[in-house]
A = this chain, B = another copy of it.
Amino acid sequence: MNKFEKSQTLLKELNGDGWLIVCNEGSDVNSRFLLGVESHARHYIYVAVNGEHRVLAVEMEAPMIEKSLKNNGVHAKVDSYNSLEDLKSKLSLIVNKKRIALNFGENIFSQKGTNYADFIHAGDYFSLIDLAPNTEFFSAAPIIYDLRCVKSQEDLKDLRNVCKATIEILESLPDIVKLGMTEREVKAEIEYRYMKLGRPSFPAIVGSGANAADPHHNTSTKKVEPGVLLVDTGLQIDQMCSDITWTFWLGNKPSDEFLKAYNALYESKEIANKYLINNIPNSIPAIKCREYLADEGYDHEKLFFHGFGHSLGFEAHDIGARISWKVSDDFILKENMVYTSEPGLYWEDKWGVRLEDDIVIGKEKCEKLTYNHKDPITI
């Protein structure tokens, strides 16, 4: 079953006539997910419950979309529009139905909210209400969740492949990184290798010294200095992403406090991994990890101020609740969900360390798609 066919089944259950995706300049990643190709200009994808799928795109991009859908075995009529007036009249014929799903979120300030489905822009939403005042628009959140959260066997195969390729590149870093290179140059070396295979799944974070204390550091022109070098990076080949953090030590002898923190994080992950299994609440692995770090003497609440992991797949931050000690007990891990496992310890303006792996939630045991070295790599 291709993605359009899966969506039809879900639409039937939701009693919907169709699912409309509105995308403009990459505003909705679900467009690329469905089309298999990136369309930049304003376009509309209509997945019809009766199989009469439609795409409206600019003339310049319609043939590219048509080819990609054909390659993916999807039968859809791809029309082009040559003015906004033309678009409006063609779209009007599509959206005047009884019930249409749209990518908007609900209850944004609640953990149970569906902000993972919140893509359509407010102005676009208003324009559709104007165009089809009698249509009932409902949130496509359940469709997006079902298509993307639990991974298919094909997704898992792709994930194994992309994780393996990323690890190979990370293993080559000791031969590439030299003192005096800038963080940005290290990033360029990594992503150059990615781009021959696919593309970065997000801009690599390369943090030297104090910059490693900033978990979402924007890679800078600072020269890499002796001491900690944190590299958080991921590759996307076709549809699936990796997301891995390794923390290196530049110089011969890592400091004792670095070694201690590295080892504590490594062990905390090993312990947490035992709980990355079917039917365990999302909070448990995070709690187990933090308990261990507390036992090792770390003030985890102060030093580890982010979640334990996030869902991974088509996006580096994919559909699915985080793994965090703050997530309520009714979020449950399911077999074949894929998560990052990424505890960290940070001393602001000094240094930080994070170890991040990608993990498939297993029935009785997780599957590690990536690894961190037990002892830190020195460069």
A interface residues, Cβ below 8 angstroms from B: 24-25, 27, 37-42, 58-61, 63-64, 82-85, 87-88, 102, 104-111, 113-115, 117-127, 131, 139, 182, 184-185, 187-189, 191-192, 194-196, 199, 203, 214-218, 305-306, 317, 326, 348
Contact = CB atoms under 8 A, between A and B. Distances in A.
Given A121-B119, A196-B188, A216-B60, A84 B106 contact: no
Contacts of A189: 192
A141 to B, nearest CB: 9
26 contacts: A24-B118, A27-B27, A37-B218, A42-B115, A59-B305, A60-B306, A61-B216, A63-B214, A64-B217, A84-B110, A85-B109, A88-B109, A105-B122, A106-B126, A108-B123, A114-B123, A118-B123, A120-B122, A123-B139, A184-B195, A188-B194, A188-B196, A191-B191, A191-B195, A192-B192, A199-B203
Contacts of A305: 59-60
Nearest to A215: B60
A115 B109 contact: no
Contacts of A121: 104-105, 115, 118-122
Given A24-B115, A115-B123, A84 B60 contact: no
A113, A121, A185: which has the most chain B beta carbons within 10 Å?
A121
Contacts of A195: 184, 187-188, 191-192
Contact of A64 (B64, B88, B216, B306): B216
B203 A184 contact: no
A63 B213 CA distance: 10
- What is the interface of chain A mostly: helix, strand, loop, or mixed? loop
Contacts of A117: 123
Number of copies: 2
B118 A105 contact: no
Given A60-B306, A61-B216, A123 B109 contact: no
A367 to B, nearest CB: 27
Contacts of A125: 122, 125
A85 B107 CA distance: 12
Contacts of A203: 38, 199
A218 B109 contact: no
Please name the 9 residue pairs, one residue from A and one from B, whose CB atoms are nearest each other, closest first: A105-B123, A188-B195, A192-B192, A118-B123, A104-B122, A108-B127, A122-B125, A118-B121, A88-B109
A325 B358 CA distance: 51
Contacts of A61: 215-216
A118 B111 contact: no
B191 A185 contact: no
Contacts of A348: 63
A114 B111 CA distance: 33
A124 B109 contact: no
Contacts of A188: 192, 194-196
A63 to B, nearest CB: 6
A115 B115 CA distance: 22
